């Protein structure tokens, strides 16, 4: 942070360590299978995650407030192979909130969702943009 301030530099971190993100970043882009699914300020993202994958990631963080020996939350299923992507939203096979006939057939587009702190926030999910499925064409590619 000191070097950033002194030199006016930006730093790009690529990590799965949410603790590092919370400590070092101002903005964060959450990616799933090579696609940005949510972009927000760190404060906004940790306070109110909007994409189901982001929500699942944050639920999987160990906490000192949890009772001893409580199992960690996991994301069911496995990450698809990048060369054999599912049609539609790449997260839909693992998403508890997936909408049948929409999430599995259409590609969601990263679109603005108002942040509660006034920041710009982007989410790629039909739960936040239900009209999007009507406006987009069905997903192409490998069938699952």
pTM of the prediction?
0.82
Q: Per residue in 80-103, pLDDT tens? A: 998 999 999 999 999 999 999 999
- The domain 2-61+75-135: what is its CATH number? 3.40.50.300
Domain boundaries, the chain: 2-61+75-135
Write the burial class of residue 119 (CB in 10 Å: 0-12 exposed, 13-18 middle, 19+ buried): middle
The residue whose two tokens read 């499925």 is 133
Q: Mean pLDDT for each 10-residue chunk of the chain (144 residues)? A: 82 88 91 95 93 93 78 88 92 94 93 74 88 56 40
Query: Which pLDDT score, from 0 to 100, does residue 39 have?
Result: 96
Q: Per residue in 34-51, pLDDT tens? A: 999 999 999 999 999 999
């Amino acid at each position: 942070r000191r070097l950033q301030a002194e030199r006016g530099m930006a730093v790009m971190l690529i990590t799965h360590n949410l603790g590092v993100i919370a400590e070092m970043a101002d903005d964060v882009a959450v990616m799933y299978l090579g696609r940005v699914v949510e972009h927000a300020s760190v404060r906004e993202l940790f306070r109110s995650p909007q994409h189901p994958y982001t929500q699942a990631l944050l639920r999987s963080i160990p906490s000192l407030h949890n009772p001893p020996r409580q199992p960690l939350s996991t994301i069911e299923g496995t990450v698809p192979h990048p060369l054999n992507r599912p049609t539609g939203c790449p997260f839909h096979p693992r998403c508890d909130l997936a909408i049948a006939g929409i999430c599995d057939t259409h590609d969601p587009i990263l679109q603005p969702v108002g942040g509660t702190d006034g920041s710009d926030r982007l989410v790629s999910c039909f739960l936040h943009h239900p009209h999007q499925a009507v406006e987009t064409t069905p997903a192409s590619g490998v069938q699952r």
